[in-house]
Structure 1
């Protein structure tokens, strides 16, 4: 289970923020803030802002569960949506959904492949096919990642959803036969491509033969 990320937020009055969403977001961003909302559990939607620093920490941590401090009142939430600008650099808006840590929720969790497969030493290549999976579990038991140990994999061996070692209370919502990762034998074509890239070889330039007349001269 990942620890809840603790963030301090401020409520805001949308009526005072004139203009389009992008314009308001840009204005808040210049002030070091990002707009967002808290919703769910049949309670009122609460418009908020939080600091750029906290948002950046939230994204880097890839955390699902957060505790928002609204000046003495704490809201336990899930990060449900993050809106980016068209360049994918600046965050425009963040949506938080209220949760009870005991309630069952569904969310995506990244796979964390660990170790060096035995087959790599035998000329194989490790191919990661799936990078995240949807899980169902109590909100308070969401794992930060699902760890996958690939150490024992030999050439032509792989791991499937059914092979995952899951934390207590966590269920993967996927076909157990889905292949997650495997080791395949390196082909001669792959080796030739790598050898050419490493040597930096260039195609041989064949010079035209000189004519007999040139030789006579």
Structure 2
């Protein structure tokens, strides 16, 4: 299946901040490294489940690889003083080539957290993923990461392996956004579906 690219668009989030959302591309290596440098120790641990101090060159290359139907990432940026600043990134990787499930990871730079950006990224990623045959997201979340667990649970996620120190949460992904829960998170995901447009196949 050919990848249907996300058409770049701007969205307003909490506190009047405008962010630009688009596919991650191979030229984004510097932005990915900059975003990582601006993560706190806790945010790095929540993303990588280890006390990671830096990204290797190979990791940067992998994280900025060209999107495919099986492995795609979308990023959020904001413009300040005519420069693009990394805000957040969301990624899915299909567990098997013929599977309908994909593992996900969502990271928002600390300075931009608590503004709904994680929910926006999740909604856009869900629309991209469902267009490529994904019907389930699998998220490995640190047990201490209450904010992410609450977000995924409000979107209909269920704990598959509620162990220690991580929780594996399964989230259904729908082609019709009206099937998402009738709550605040579901509303934001429906808005993300409405804003995000994909190139025709």
TM-score (norm 1): 0.24
Bigger proportion of residues as helix: 2
TM-score by length of 2: 0.25
